[in-house]
Every structure is written in structure tokens, then in C-alpha cells.
Structure 1
């Protein structure tokens, strides 16, 4: 085979590989731009969410006992305090869950409905 055939063959191979890389780069760029567009749309949609209410499930500083007082308290008193605080946190979470489902129009769970 003459030498110019090898030159043409290598030029064709390099041109095809460059075409492949350009095509893959273009597809990657298009997918990236679609992702950025979706991210911007999600940002616009979620930026309108109202801030959470000011109430929190954490007790206020006035209701907390002095630091270190648990060392001298009786185990029964500490168990009562722990169970009371646990029930309070569960109730606050339940109320938030019920309110959130009511706002979204979702059906309520039977465990969340108050029978009292």
C-alpha cells in the first residue's frame, strides 16, 4: 500500500474520533442544560413555600430544670419527666402530621385521628 493511503486512513480515523467526541460533548451539554433548567424550575416552585410556624416542639428555657439537677433527682421523678416529655414530643409530631396532611388534602391515618 502506498504511504499516502496510510495518511488518509489516519486522517479519517482522527476526524471520526473528533466527530464522536464532539457529538458526545454536545449531548452531555444538552443533558446538563436540561438538568439546570429543571433545577431552576424546582427552585422557583419551592421558593414559594411558607416558612414553618414559630412554635417548636422544644420546650422553652423557663420550663427546663437547672443543669445537673438530674443527678440528685429520684429515678421515678426522672422517668416521669422523660415519659412526659416523650409524650409531648409525640403529640406535637402527630399534630404537625395531621395539619400537614389536611393542608395537602391527603387522607388521615387512623392512628392520627383523635378519639378523645
Structure 2
């Protein structure tokens, strides 16, 4: 092989590799732009909900503000915990009694309200 054929081969290899890099760069740029477009659409969709609006809305009645437990006294927090725990237990008991009544099953003595 003559010496100039090696030059042609290397020029072709370099040109093909540059063409591949250009193609990959264009493809990466298009994917990046599509991602930005999707991100912009998601931002517009979720843009109507701002963190300030969420913080300024009043919490539901009887529920403390988020983060208020840090500054509350331990006895108040213990009382709130026990009250909500007993409330959840009572709700579960009432559901269980109603479910057994609906099915015609006998009630457990612990579920009956003797008050």
C-alpha cells in the first residue's frame, strides 16, 4: 500500500468519528430540549399551587399547625397523642360493631358499649 492511502484511511476515520460526535451532540441537544419542554409544561401545570398559598391556608379545625409540636410542652403533646389514639380506637370499634351487625355475627364482649 502506498503511503498516501494511510493518510486517506486516517482522514476518513477522523471524519467519520467527527460525524458521529456531531450526530450524538444533536441527538443529546434535542433530548435536552424535549426534557426542558416537559419540565416547563409540568411547571405551568403545578404553578397555580404556590408554597405561600399552602402555608397561609387555615388548617382543618382541631388540627395543630405543622411544626407546632416542637414548641409545645411534652404533657400537652402526650395528651394529644393519647386522645387521638383513643379516638382512632373508638372509630375502629364502632366500625367493627357495625360490620358485625350488618353481617349478623355475634358481638365480642369487648366491643359492646355498656355505658
- TM-score bracket, shorter-length normalisation: 0.5 to 0.7
Q: Specify whether residues 28 and 44 from structure 1 end up closer, same or farther in structure 2 by C-alpha distance, changes over 3 A only.
A: same
Q: By how many angstroms is 1:83 displaced?
A: 1.3
CA distance in 2, matches of 1:31, 1:17: 21
CA distance in 2, matches of 1:47, 1:22: 36
Aligned to 2:37: 37
CA distance in 2, matches of 1:55, 1:78: 18
Q: Which has the higher contact order (CA 8 A, sep 6+)?
A: 1
Which of the residues 45, 58, 63 maps onto 2:64?
58
CA distance in 2, matches of 1:10, 1:78: 77
Matches within 5 A, 1:100-111: none
Q: By how many angstroms is 1:82 displaced?
A: 2.7
> Whose Rg is larger?
2
Count residues in correspondence.
79
Scaled by the length of structure 2, what TM-score is found?
0.54
User: What is the Cα-based RMSD across aligned positions, in Å?
Assistant: 3.4
Scaled by the length of structure 1, what TM-score is found?
0.53
Where has structure 1 moved over 6 Å in runs of 4 or more?
none
| Unpaired segments ≥5 residues, structure 2 | 89-94, 96-115
CA distance in 2, matches of 1:23, 1:32: 14
Aligned to 1:83: 82
CA distance in 2, matches of 1:38, 1:78: 44
